[in-house]
Amino acid sequence: MRLKKQSFMNFLYISAGILLFLFAIELLTSSTGALAPELENFMVFIDNPLNALGLGWISSYIMLSGYPVTVFGLSLFDSGVISEISTFFVVNGSRLGASLIVIVIGVVESLRKKDLDMIDSTSIGFMTLLITYTIVLPAILIGLLIVRMDLLNVYFELEFLSLIDIIYQPIVDSVLNFFGPYLGVLIALVTLYFALSIFEKPFHRMKVENFKSSWINFLMERKIYSFLFGAVLTFFSQSVALSIGLIVPIYNRGFLQRRNLIPYIMGACVTTFGGTLAVSFLIGNEIAINLTLAIIIANLLVSLFYLYFYREYHSYISNLTNFFLQKNSRLFLLLFAMFVSPFLLLVVV
């Protein structure tokens, strides 16, 4: 009986999260469309792709999440405020900044458990950051090649989206008429956060103890299964912070080894763009859909290359992680570079 009640509650959380998510996307798209002329003047400082990369990077720091940044970037593109290439770099920049949240999770876990060493507790976060950078940076070059050469031009039937417009447009129009487009953007972003937090609730209910079973260790010991496990969990939760955050306390308690987490994190880095693809469909922009597909394919190709040469990649990531964690000065240098780099990109002319 208790299991049925929990399953029913999980269904309600997921359903409510999806309904609010759809409303947030509709409201954000309509708000940015109404503000397009003013936003174009505000966004004049984005003169080149590096500026857009820095914007996405910094924005994900501010929001402690890359997902709202990608949603906002796609909405700006759909409204004609930024170009296709700028959108490409905003989305990729959001991934470079989003890994910060995993480091924050490690810090919180260390403060919560007094017996944990701060460096060891945050090591997964720093390893996630390094894996993200080694995947995203080369994937940017591959993805840019796909977009520039127009190698991907898939056509999709989007008529089903009219039903969403019929349901939500009257509500969106009422909100915009009452609050205006500026507050509409703010309400949309807050609603998006709220929708994601509700949607994630069933996943948060998964206790750490559930991940100590032998089948989890069986999966994590094999790189392909570990990669797929991280990919699937991130795809359904649509949160790298959640899927990787779940394993941080398990690792800190000695139930997993760091070497087994690398493929898991790689898988999470690829399917985190699944939500971005969903948003592309919801705004009904075929160019945005193909743009997101190019990003996903590029990240997948880089990840598969690393999996093929996994021994070398594992050794490289392990040595690089140990290099930065061995001395506080190196760690400080890495953190300093993380925070300064996006600001430097913003001022590149």
Greatest mean pLDDT range, 43-47, 217-221, 262-266: 262-266
- Per cent of the chain over pLDDT 70 is 71
- The pLDDT of 230-252, averaged and rounded, is 70
CA atoms within 13 A of residue 13's CA, in its CB half-sphere: 18
84 CB neighbour count, 10 Å cutoff: 13
- The pLDDT of 39-50, averaged and rounded, is 71
50 CB neighbour count, 10 Å cutoff: 18
CB 90 within 8 A of CB 52: yes
Specify the range with the lowest mean pLDDT, choosing from 58-67, 89-98, 177-186, 211-220.
Answer: 211-220
Q: What is the pLDDT of residue 81?
A: 82
118-129 residue pLDDT tens? 565 567 778 888
The stretches of the chain forming alpha helices (DSSP H) are 2-34, 36-42, 49-63, 67-78, 84-98, 100-112, 118-148, 161-204, 214-220, 223-237, 240-252, 261-271, 274-282, 286-308, 310-326, 328-346
Among candidates 5, 66, 59, which has minimal Cα distance to 345? Answer: 59
Residue bearing the bigger pLDDT, 329 or 136:
136
Q: What is the pLDDT of residue 338?
A: 85
Specify the range with the lowest mean pLDDT, choosing from 42-56, 240-254, 273-287, 299-313.
Answer: 240-254
- The pLDDT of 98-115, averaged and rounded, is 62
Amino acid found at 237: S
- Cβ-in-10-Å burial (0-12, 13-18, 19+) of 119 comes to middle
Q: How far is CA 107 from CA 18, 114, 331, in A?
A: 31, 11, 14
Specify the range with the lowest mean pLDDT, choosing from 88-97, 191-200, 218-227, 282-291.
Answer: 191-200
**Res 279 pLDDT > 70:** yes
**Res 24 pLDDT > 70:** yes
CB within 8 Å of 273: residues ≥ 6 apart: 70, 91, 95, 292, 295, 296, 299
Specify the range with the lowest mean pLDDT, choosing from 116-130, 161-175, 292-306.
Answer: 116-130
Tokens of 331: 């760690």
242-258 residue pLDDT tens? 677 666 666 666 666 76
DSSP structural state of residue 209? G
